[in-house]
A and B are shown apart, each in its own frame.
Chain A
Amino acid sequence: MKYVDEFRDPQLIANVSREIARLAGAGRHYRIMEVCGGHTHAIYRHGLKNLLPPNVELIHGPGCPVCVLPMGRVDDGLSIAQQRDVIMTAFGDMMRVPGTRGTPLEHKARGVDIRMVYSPLDALRIAQSTPEKHVVFFAIGFETTAPSTALTLARARALGIKNFSVFCNHVTIVPAIRAILDSPDMRLDAFVGPGHVSTVTGCRPYEFIARDYGKPVVISGFEPLDILESILMILRQLRSGEARVENQYRRIVPWEGNLPALQAIGEAFELRPYFEWRGLGFISQSALKVSSAFAAWDAEVQFEVPGIRVTDPKAAQCGEVLKGVLKPPQCKLFGKECNPEHPVGALMVSSEGACAAYYRYVHLSESVPA
């Protein structure tokens, strides 16, 4: 059982962590961003921070789709849900994200027909079995999820299902990374690249980060040893003054990505000129909308969408946490007004959100010996 033992082998982990400490040396501080929320989750859960020397710092990036959705879009979706004869469908994570007047779950309790689904195909099936209603799928997610929505749209069209549409909030990871690189408070040295997003995009889209910004990128798996090895690969590059894209997660991520998935995305979606991200503001060409060829299945064409803009509650510092400027416990609301039972911000909702991960696991990570 090569994999099972290897990724958890305490001896191996100790060796890699010692090698990281040796390479990192002293006198220089390394700030490495893990872009993907799945990595954030794993880093806290496994207490990896304690296996790194203090001068190697991990910064949590914007890679949790629920966390980057601004409150106004939640309100927009809920306003569609409240229209006559509409059934709104959404992933479980989405159900607990607060809008201005409560979460989708709370709206459901007030009688709005909002249902949780595990796949966009389930939303389509509900449309088939309730022809007298219009079923809207509240689509969120990065490139990992976008192909699924795209293929569901293609299926709706092929079957001629007219009472189904998508409220599209798919975002793409590369422009967000670019926005972070271009921001004035950028102090990052390198990136741990997203694992599952890259199964779709492949590794090429990250090449500009190395080429234009001189920062190493290592696409990483999610096991403790995967992440540590990726950090080691990053430090090797930094020490030798190199900047390349490397693929640590070769067993899953093909360098060229998944062509059928990219094709499906290309057919069903178009780039929006700009889209607002929570904490990062408007980023141009950073999100997808349903393409004009699928306008009949685009909720934003089929329904009036108010285009609500809401500023987050003043004391909430989700934006700063998302940009890696603040750590979760530095937010004034952390663990007090904002906790997993009563999340103020989306970072406390999703298990991939930095605040939820920190809240859940930080006591564990503190007990792991360094």
Chain B
Amino acid sequence: MCLAIPGQIVEFSTEQAGLAKVDVAGVKRNVNVSLLQDEGVACGDWVLIHVGFAMSKIEESQAKDQLRMLSALGEDEMAMDEIRGYSFAERE
């Protein structure tokens, strides 16, 4: 239950509204982006992810910094495990 994992949106799902693929340090998984509908999100945007949902948009420099923060807190592995663990939009 990492507090906030930064990722970059690389692709929107054509099958499910509000679903987008994010890239977190090379690992790509689907997350739900519907909480950012008011602000609007586009490919290339950086977001903070919490339990499978994008919670807020951030600047790229902040995203990089957040990744460093996670590693400083010794939570980078945990965060990557969490991202790898999201499997809700994978095909069975």
Q: Are B37 and A117 in contact (CB under 8 A)?
A: no
Q: Are B87 and A148 in contact (CB under 8 A)?
A: no
* Interface-central residue, A2, A38, A118, A258, by most chain B CB under 10 Å: A118
Assembled-state Cα–Cα distance A30/B91 (Å): 55
Measured CB to CB, the closest approach of chain B to A250, in angstroms, equals 12
Measured CB to CB, the closest approach of chain B to A181, in angstroms, equals 25
In the complex, what residues of B have CB within 8 A of residue A222's CB?
A: 3, 69
Q: Are A252 and B48 in contact (CB under 8 A)?
A: yes
Measured CB to CB, the closest approach of chain B to A194, in angstroms, equals 10
Assembled-state Cα–Cα distance A165/B59 (Å): 36
A84 part of interface (Cβ distance < 8 Å): no
Q: Are A3 and B62 in contact (CB under 8 A)?
A: yes
Q: Are B68 and A4 in contact (CB under 8 A)?
A: yes
Q: Which of A120-128, A234-242, A285-293, A332-340 contacts B (4 or more CB under 8 A)?
A: A120-128
Nearest opposing residue in chain B for A7, CB measure: B65
Measured CB to CB, the closest approach of chain A to B88, in angstroms, equals 4
B14 part of interface (Cβ distance < 8 Å): no
Interface residues on B, range: 35 or more
In the complex, what residues of A have CB within 8 A of residue B38's CB?
A: 258-260
Nearest opposing residue in chain A for B31, CB measure: A119
Nearest opposing residue in chain B for A6, CB measure: B65
Q: Are A121 and B58 in contact (CB under 8 A)?
A: no
Q: Are B1 and A121 in contact (CB under 8 A)?
A: no
Which residues of B in the span 43-92 have a Cβ within 8 Å of any Cβ on A?
48, 50-53, 55-56, 58-59, 61-62, 64-65, 68-69, 72-75, 81-83, 85-89, 92
Q: Are B85 and A148 in contact (CB under 8 A)?
A: no
In the complex, what residues of A have CB within 8 A of residue B56's CB?
A: 199, 252, 258
Q: Are B69 and A200 in contact (CB under 8 A)?
A: no
In the complex, what residues of B have CB within 8 A of residue A2's CB?
A: 61
Helix, strand, loop or mixed for chain A's interface?
helix
Helix, strand, loop or mixed for chain B's interface?
mixed
In the complex, what residues of A have CB within 8 A of residue B32's CB?
A: 121, 148, 151
Q: A196-B3, A258-B56, A260-B35 are in contact. Are A118 and B65 (CB under 8 A)?
A: no
In the complex, what residues of A have CB within 8 A of residue B35's CB?
A: 147, 151, 258, 260-261, 264
B4 part of interface (Cβ distance < 8 Å): yes
Assembled-state Cα–Cα distance A40/B59 (Å): 25
In the complex, what residues of B have CB within 8 A of residue A259's CB?
A: 38
- One of A91, A145, A251, A351 near B62 (C-beta < 8 A): A251
Q: Are B92 and A196 in contact (CB under 8 A)?
A: no
* Interface-central residue, B73, B85, B89, by most chain A CB under 10 Å: B73
In the complex, what residues of A have CB within 8 A of residue B83's CB?
A: 118
In the complex, what residues of A have CB within 8 A of residue B69's CB?
A: 222-223
A106 part of interface (Cβ distance < 8 Å): no
Q: Are B53 and A148 in contact (CB under 8 A)?
A: yes
Q: Are B61 and A144 in contact (CB under 8 A)?
A: no
Given contacts A4-B65, A260-B36, 13 further A-B contacts (CB under 8 A): A3-B61, A45-B74, A46-B72, A91-B1, A93-B1, A118-B81, A122-B52, A145-B1, A151-B35, A196-B3, A258-B35, A260-B35, A351-B75
Q: Which residues of B contact A (CB under 8 A)?
A: 1, 3-4, 32, 34-38, 48, 50-53, 55-56, 58-59, 61-62, 64-65, 68-69, 72-75, 81-83, 85-89, 92
Closest 9 A-B residue pairs measured CB to CB?
Answer: A119-B52, A118-B85, A121-B88, A3-B65, A91-B1, A125-B88, A118-B82, A148-B53, A3-B61
5 A-B residue pairs with Cβ-Cβ distance under 8 Å, sorted by A, are: A45-B73, A92-B1, A122-B86, A196-B48, A196-B50
